Amino acid sequence: MLTETAIFDALRNVQEPELGRDIVTLQMVKDVVIEGPAVSLTIELTTPACPLKDEIERDVRAALGGIGAAEVAIAWGAMVRRAAPSQPQSLVPGVKNIIAVASGKGGVGKSSVSANLATALALDGASVGLLDADITGPNIPLMMGVEGAPAATPEGKIRPLERYGVKVISIQFFVPEGQPIVWRGPLVGGAIQQFLRDVDWGELDYLVIDLPPGTSDAQLTLAQSVPIGGALLVTTPQDVAVADVEKALAMFRRMSVPVMGIVENMSAFVCPHCGEATEIFGRGGGEAFAKRHELEYFGGIPIDVKVRQGGDAGIPAVAQREPGPAAVVLRDLARRVAARMSVRAAQQVPVLTIS
């Protein structure tokens, strides 16, 4: 006869592949119900965007089948942990994880990556915010298809606009269309702090911040204002982009901001008719950079007309009805970034053992 003790003992042999610990020790097993030879339980993932959910399910079924469970019903939940230590007086107390998306130079597709990363995380079930910190070149509203003026909450906070399940804030919402923002560094830093402090973000699993290119006041303000769970670097293959992203890496390391890895955008153009790949901007610059600096390489995003069309129409590639090849890579990128944040969270918090 199946018992709860036998079930937990069997599940101690099931590893969470990313974290390298068993799912019982990680307190991921919930609500076990036994009805004769049938078992139902909930597995609480460390992120709804878990890229290895299928592997965990296969191992759970095998472990329980090995002790005589004839039928196994698995419900899935998720509890995202913090990847960086919380601050007593945090500007964003309800935000569990902050992901900074950065590049060394402009024109590498950083904002496209930010918009698709945030949207993909939301599509997988996470609660997500997107802060456009590129104050003098705000493109996120156009790429997300968001327009209008944010309202105020009864508490006097700014209520962000929402699209595709993502809460969005940008300076573009507060200035007339076409008006340039000609500000010195302190004003840019002040605007970012206000967006962190005065926006009603609510409870978020992830806040994605689209930083301006380069190394300037925006990056310094962010690093000094909130605990960043991880930075994602974006480059293109050519040498000039890689040279600039190297400076961004050095900046984050000097500020003790953990860098999760790098993604190479515009890695090649794949002909939709013949399938031949043309490496317009060169080959392998991002991957070689990652290897040289011992960073994770999150892969190459191909040049895809659907990304450009979606950016102009306000429909991120991952949210399109007929996604192209870039959307597949971007969905995988989001899940891998979420997994890296889960690993960092597991390293931050002591794990209790269930007896």
d(CA 260, CA 336): 10
Confidence at residue 246, expressed as pLDDT on a 0 to 100 scale: 94
Report DSSP state, residue 211. Answer: P
**Contact yes or no for 100/177 (Cβ under 8 A):** no
d(CA 138, CA 241): 21
CA distance readout (Å), 296 to 183, 260, 264, 335? 35, 7, 11, 14
d(CA 173, CA 131): 12
Provide the token pair at 265: 């955008």
Q: Which residue bears the tokens 């309800």?
A: 94
Confidence at residue 55, expressed as pLDDT on a 0 to 100 scale: 95
SS3 at position 89: coil
Confidence of residue 345 (pLDDT cuts 50, 70, 90): confident
d(CA 121, CA 188): 28
Query: Per residue in 256-293, pLDDT tens?
Result: 999 999 999 999 887 777 877 788 888 889 999 999 99
Confidence at residue 273, expressed as pLDDT on a 0 to 100 scale: 79
Q: Which residue bears the tokens 């918090």?
A: 349
Which residues, 6+ apart, have CB-to-CB distance to 137 below 8 Å?
106, 212
d(CA 58, CA 294): 32
Which range, of 130-144, 269-283, 304-318, averages the lowest pLDDT?
269-283
Which range, of 48-57, 61-70, 85-94, 138-147, averages the lowest pLDDT?
85-94
Confidence at residue 159, expressed as pLDDT on a 0 to 100 scale: 96
Q: Is it the case that residue 355 has pLDDT exceeding 70?
A: no
Confidence at residue 180, expressed as pLDDT on a 0 to 100 scale: 85
Share of the chain above pLDDT 90, in %: 75
Q: Is it the case that residue 62 has pLDDT exceeding 70?
A: yes
d(CA 292, CA 289): 5
d(CA 82, CA 223): 16
Q: Is it the case that residue 89 has pLDDT exceeding 80?
A: no
Beta strand pairing status for 204-210 and 128-132? parallel
Which range, of 1-10, 58-67, 118-127, 273-282, averages the lowest pLDDT?
273-282
Confidence at residue 351, expressed as pLDDT on a 0 to 100 scale: 44
Q: Is it the case that residue 61 has pLDDT exceeding 90?
A: yes
Confidence at residue 349, expressed as pLDDT on a 0 to 100 scale: 52
- Mean pLDDT comparison of 142-146, 189-193, 211-215, highest-scoring range: 142-146
Which range, of 112-116, 152-156, 160-164, averages the lowest pLDDT?
152-156
Q: Is it the case that residue 350 has pLDDT exceeding 60?
A: no
Closest of 209, 163, 183, 167 to residue 313, by C-alpha? 163
Confidence at residue 97, expressed as pLDDT on a 0 to 100 scale: 95
State the burial class of residue 69 (Cβ atoms within 10 Å of its Cβ: 0-12, 13-18, 19+). buried
Chain mean pLDDT for the chain: 91
Is domain 4-78 given the CATH code 3.30.300.130 in the classification?
yes
Which residues, 6+ apart, have CB-to-CB distance to 127 below 8 Å?
202, 203, 204, 205, 206
Confidence of residue 352 (pLDDT cuts 50, 70, 90): very low
Phi/psi of residue 234, each to 5°? Answer: -120, 130
Confidence of residue 354 (pLDDT cuts 50, 70, 90): very low
Boundaries of every domain in the chain? 4-78, 95-347
Q: Is it the case that residue 178 has pLDDT exceeding 90?
A: no
pTM of the model: 0.91
Share of the chain above pLDDT 70, in %: 97
Which residues, 6+ apart, have CB-to-CB distance to 240 below 8 Å?
105
Confidence of residue 83 (pLDDT cuts 50, 70, 90): confident
**CATH topology (fold) of 95-347:** Rossmann fold (3.40.50)
Helices (H), the chain: 4-11, 53-65, 110-123, 140-144, 185-197, 217-225, 239-254, 285-292, 305-313, 325-348
Closest of 49, 54, 58 to residue 78, by C-alpha? 49
**Contact yes or no for 81/342 (Cβ under 8 A):** yes
**Contact yes or no for 334/117 (Cβ under 8 A):** yes
Confidence at residue 125, expressed as pLDDT on a 0 to 100 scale: 95
